[in-house]
Chains A and B, each alone.
Chain A
C-alpha cells in the first residue's frame, strides 16, 4: 500500500511522517519513540492506547495514523514536559493507583479528560469516564482514590 505524508502536531511540536494507510496511531507514535500508548486488546476495549487528538481521548489502536493529518496529538509523555508531573500523575503515585503500570498512561490520559469536563467528579462520573480503561492488576479502588485526590489538588 502506498504511503502518505502527513503533517501534524505531536506534543506541541510540528512534525511530519510518511506512513501507509493501514497503520494505526500507536504505530505512528512508536516511530517517534513514544511507547506510553500501548496496544493491548487491539479492539479499543482496554484503553491502554489512550491518547488525545485535538484534546479528545481516542483509542490509538483504532485510530488510523493518516487521520492524524492536520491534528494535534498529545501523549502521556507530554504531561511532564516542563519537568514536573501533572496533578493526575502525582495523585496516581500518592494513591498507589497501579501495580504493573502497563495500563497507567491510558488511565492518566482519560483522567485528565474527565477532570477537564468534571473538575469535581462524582463516583458515577468517574465510573462513566474510566469504564473504557481496564486494569488487570485491578487497582480500581486506588484509581478512584487517585482521581479524587487529583480533583481536590486542582481546586
Chain B
C-alpha cells in the first residue's frame, strides 16, 4: 500500500469545514482573566511616569501591571531568541510606538479595554531613527548595550558592544571580487528597497497561561512549543518540566508566531495574580507585534564579454525594528545566498541587522530570501537587457548547477534550479512571439528564480507508538498551521508501518507529551521532522519484530501486531514505542571569510513567471498570468504541496502590489485590514503551479520543504514584466499604480509632483 505520494485530504478536514477545529482562540479556562495592553505612543523615550490610578478604580478591574511589577517577579525580564533584549513590559525606555507598557486584567475584556484608555504615561521623548541606512550611523542609539542570548556561538563576540545599532554584521568573501570587478568588461550597480509589511494571521496572536502550585501551563497559538517552554523556564529560573506548552491548530502563522510573542507576558501576569490569564490581540495590535524586514540592498556585478558574471558584491541592510527577534539569524542565514543562484567565482557579501524605532521585524515566509531575490533578480534582468541578451539565456549561462560550489563554498546537491527555470520558460512559451499590446495598454513578461538554504543545525525528535491492536500514534511538536504537516507525517508513518495514513492518530503538540522540536519554521519540518518520523516508525517496526521473536513466533513472517502482543502479554495489552532524533551535520561559517563547506542540509528552489498588462495612462498593472514552479523533491502529498506553492505565491503577490505599513512619526497609520490591503478573491490572476520532477536524496522518501519557495520569484518577475512592457524599472516594493505612473512620467520628462 503506497501511502507516500497519495493525494489524501488533510486529516482534520471535517473539523475545519464544520467550524469545530480546536484553536487557542476558542479556549476558555475556569477563573480566567482577560488581559489588555496599554501601549507606547512615542517612538523613543524615557518613561517618566505611568499613571494607572483611574484604571485601577474602574469597577471590574482586577489588576493593573507595569514593567516594574514584572521586574519584582522576574529580575531580568528580557527575552528573545537571538538577543535577550525585549522586556516583557517596557522598562526605563520605550523604543517604538505600540510597545507594551502596561497591562490591565479583568474578567470582562471590554472592562479591561476601557481601563486601558484610562492609563496615561509621560515620556521624555528622544530622537528616533526609522531608516536602516540612517541607523548605520550611531547618532540615535536604540539600545545602549547589545545583549546577545549566548545560545548562538557566532553572536558571542557582540556581547556588551556599545554605541551601535548593528545587531549583527555578517561578511562573506569568496575569491577577489574587487579585482575581478576591475577587470570586468561591464559593471552594473543598482539599489533595491523593500517595504515594511506583515503576516496578519487571521487567528490573531493569542495565549493563555494557567498557573498551578509550582508549574505553569501555556496554551498558545505558536509555531515553536519547545522554544517557548525553554524560554519561559529560563525567565523563571525553572527546569523545563515546570512549564507545559500546549498548541492546537493554528489559524495561520507564516513566521509571525515563532519564538516567544505573547507567552512571556501571559506567563508573568498569571504568576503575579495566580489566576489564568488570556490575551488576544486585535487585528490592529498585530501591527505592533512583528513584521517583515524592510531592506536596502546595494548590488554590483562585473560581467565579461561573453556574458558571464565574474564578480558580484552585495551590501544588504535589514531594518530590524526595536528588538532583534530572529533578525540576526535572517541577516546571516539569508545573507550568504544574497548573490543568487548563479555560479560566480568572486563574491563579497555584507549583511547588516539594524535596530530602529519601528515595530520589530522577524521571519516572514522566506526568512529574508524574498527581499534578496527581489534585488538580485531585478538586477539580473537589468544586466541582460543592457547587454542585449535574452533574460532566460543570460540566466542559463550563469546558473549554479549541482556539483558546483555555492557562494558559501557548500557544493550544490539536489537543487533543481535549471529545472525550475526550464519549467517556467516552457510554460510561458518563452521562445514564441509575444503579443505586446498597443496604444495605452502594453504587455510584457518577466521571469525570476531564487533559492534558499535551510536553517541549520536544528533538531527534531519523534515518537511512534503502536498499540496492541496495531493502531498507531505519532507524537511530534511540529505545529500544523495549515501547511498539512500532520497529514504528511501520517503518510510517512503509514508508509513504513504499512497502515492507512488516515488511521494514524497525530497527537497535537504538548511539551509534557510530545518530544523536542526546534520549531515549525523556515520550511524545515518536512525534512527534519519528516526524517525523525520516518526513523521513529522504522524503530517501531524493528521493535515489533523483536517482540515477535521474544514471544517465540517463528521469524520470516509478518504477523499482525495484535497476534504478537497477545502472544507476548497474554491479552490485548502493551505498546511498542519507536523513537528517533534527527539533526543534520553542519559546519559553522568561518568567522573571517563567512565560508563553510556544509552550510545547509538541503536547498529550496522556487521561481515565477509573469505576464502583465500596463495601462500607461494610469500606471495600473494587471497580471494576465502568474506561473509558479518549485523543487520540493518528491512530494509526499502533491495536492497539498501545490496548494502551498499557490498560497505562498498569492501572499507574495500582496507584498508585491499593495501591502505596506505606512509610518508617520513612528506611528503606523494604516493598522487595519481597511487600509492595509491584502489579496482578496478578486485579486487572483490566472495561475499555474508546477512541482518539477526532483528528488532530495537525504529527505524522507525523497521529499523536502516547500512552504516558502512559492514566494521567491513573484516580485521580481512582475517588475521584470513591467519593464518589458513599458520600459520603466521599479526598484522599491510595493509596485503600486502610483509608483508605475511616476516612473512612466519621469521617463518622458514630465514627472509627477511629490506627495
Chain B residues 1-58 with CB under 8 Å of chain A are 9-10, 12-21, 23, 25-26
Contact residues in B for A80 (Cβ distance below 8 Å): 18
Q: Within the complex, which residue of B17, B18, B283 is in contact with A42, where a contact is CB–CB below 8 Å?
A: B283
Tell me if B202 and A48 are in contact (CB < 8 A): yes
Q: Are B249 and A75 interface neighbours, CB within 8 A?
A: no
Chain A residues whose C-beta falls within 8 Å of the C-beta of B644 in the assembled complex: 99
Task: Say how far B28's CB is from chain A's closest CB, in angstroms.
Answer: 8
Residues from chain A with Cβ under 8 Å of B17 in the complex: 85, 89, 92-93, 98, 101, 104-105, 108
Let me know if A36 and B19 touch, CB within 8 A: yes
Q: How far does the Cβ of B257 sit from chain A's closest Cβ, in whole Å?
A: 11
User: Separation in Å of the A96 CB from the closest CB of chain B?
Assistant: 6
Quick one: given A41-B672, A136-B252, are A46 and B18 in contact (CB under 8 Å)? no
Question: Is the pair A142, B643 in contact by a Cβ cutoff of 8 Å?
Answer: yes
The contact size tier of chain B is 35 or more
Q: CA–CA, A75 to B18, complex, Å?
A: 10
The answer to the question of A52 belonging to the interface, with a C-beta cut-off of 8 Å to chain B, is: no
Contact A93 B682 (CB under 8 A): no
> Which of chain A's residues 21-38 have a Cβ closer than 8 Å to chain B?
22-23, 34-38
Check A140 for interface membership: any CB of B closer than 8 A. Answer: yes
Interface residues of chain A: helix, strand, loop or mixed (majority)? loop
Contact between B482 and A137, CB atoms less than 8 A apart: yes
Q: Are A138 and B647 in contact (CB under 8 A)?
A: yes
Q: Does A133 contact B (CB under 8 A)?
A: yes
The proximity string for A residues 93-113 relative to B, scoring 1 for CB distances below 8 Å and 0 otherwise, is: 110101111111100100000
- CB-defined contacts of A139 to chain B, threshold 8 Å: 643, 646-647
Helix, strand, loop or mixed for chain B's interface? loop
Which of A36, A40, A126 is the one whose CB lies under 8 Å from B20? A36
A77 within 8 A of B: yes
Question: From A104, which residue of chain B is reached at the shortest CB distance?
Answer: B16
Most buried by B among A37, A43, A136: A136
- Known interface pairs A40-B204, A96-B643; A138-B672 also in contact (CB < 8 Å): no
B-side contacts of A77, CB under 8 Å = 18-20
- Interface set, chain A 105-155, CB cutoff 8 A to B: 105, 108, 126-127, 130-131, 133-144
> Does residue B695 face the partner (Cβ distance < 8 Å to A)?
no
Residue B481 is within 8 A (CB to CB) of chain A in the complex: yes
A residues within 8 A CB of B284?
42
User: For the complex, is A10 an interface residue (Cβ under 8 Å from B)?
Assistant: no
Q: How far is the CB of A143 from chain B (nearest CB, A)?
A: 7
CA A89 – CA B14 in complex, angstroms?
8
Asked if B737 lies at the interface with its beta carbon under 8 angstroms from chain A, I say no
Whether A79 sits at the interface, judged by CB under 8 Å, is yes
Cβ of B382 < 8 Å from any Cβ of A? no
* Contact among B15, B283, B650 with A140 in the assembled complex (CB-CB below 8 Å): B650
Q: Chain A: which residue is nearest B483 at the CB level?
A: A99
Indicate if the CB atoms of A85 and B16 lie closer than 8 Å.
no
**Residue from the list B15, B253, B651 in contact with A138, Cβ < 8 A:** B651
In the complex, the answer to whether B19 meets A35 with C-beta atoms within 8 Å is yes
Q: Which of B204, B674, B687 contacts A45 (CB 8 A)?
A: B674
Given contacts A93-B13, A100-B249, contact A143 B283 (CB under 8 A): no
Decide yes or no: A85 and B687 within 8 Å by CB, A96-B643, A134-B678 being known contacts: no
Does B672 contact A43, Cβ atoms closer than 8 Å?
yes
23 A-B pairs with CB atoms under 8 Å apart are: A23-B110, A35-B25, A38-B23, A38-B25, A42-B283, A42-B284, A76-B18, A96-B640, A99-B643, A100-B203, A100-B249, A101-B12, A105-B18, A126-B681, A127-B682, A135-B681, A136-B199, A136-B254, A137-B647, A138-B649, A138-B650, A138-B679, A144-B681
